[in-house]
Amino acid sequence: MNPNDPLLISELKRDEGVEYTPYFDSVGIETVGVGHNLKVSPLDVHYPLTDDQVDLILSSDLLNVFSGLDAHLGWWRNLSYARQRVMVNMAFNMGIGTLLTFKNTLGAIEDGQYEAAAEGMLNSKWARQVGDRAYRLAKLMRVG
């Protein structure tokens, strides 16, 4: 899997939405493009963004997510394609630092206990915040 994967990009655009001007997300973080956190990574651009700018920002953000997963959870690359997309989607949404707090869930994923991992995903504050997205990703974790 790579950061230019069309299915991954399509799923993230569906889950995050695409916004050409800054807005405040569901937890009050100023965001633009495809879930780009302006608090963590401000942009020096004029709004509204173009499609090319949105895609470039998304590509850069995905490179950061892949780097974070590789640095902290190197085993994620051994997962099935579907489960790799779950890992990227979650890390993209919450950031690698927050994902790393899912110790039991990550342990279950690493051990191949995908049902337990899916339950851990759904029994989280994150799942309550993202709603249907969590159910889709948990199902993908279960079935691989």
Q: What is the pLDDT of residue 26?
A: 83
Report the pLDDT averaged over residues 82-110.
Answer: 98
Q: What is the pLDDT of residue 28?
A: 92
Residue 21: phi and psi, rounded to 5, are -130, 155
Percent of the chain with pLDDT over 90: 97
What are the tens digits of pLDDT across the range 70-80? Answer: 999 999 999 99
Q: What is the pLDDT of residue 4?
A: 92
Query: Buried (b) or exposed (e) across 5-33, using 16+ Cβ within 10 A?
Result: beebbebbbebbebbeeeeeeeeeeebbb
- Residue among 138, 37, 141 at smallest CA distance from 95: 37
Amino acid in position 12: L
Report the pLDDT averaged over residues 14-23.
Answer: 97
How far, in Å, CA of 35 to CA of 25, rounded? Answer: 8
Which residues fall within 8 angstroms of residue 39, CB to CB, at 6 or more apart? 29, 30
What is the domain partition of the chain in residue ranges? 6-143
Q: What is the pLDDT of residue 103?
A: 98
CATH class of the 6-143 domain in this structure: mainly alpha
Report the pLDDT averaged over residues 49-66.
Answer: 98
- Mean pLDDT of all residues belonging to the chain: 97
Q: What is the pLDDT of residue 27?
A: 85
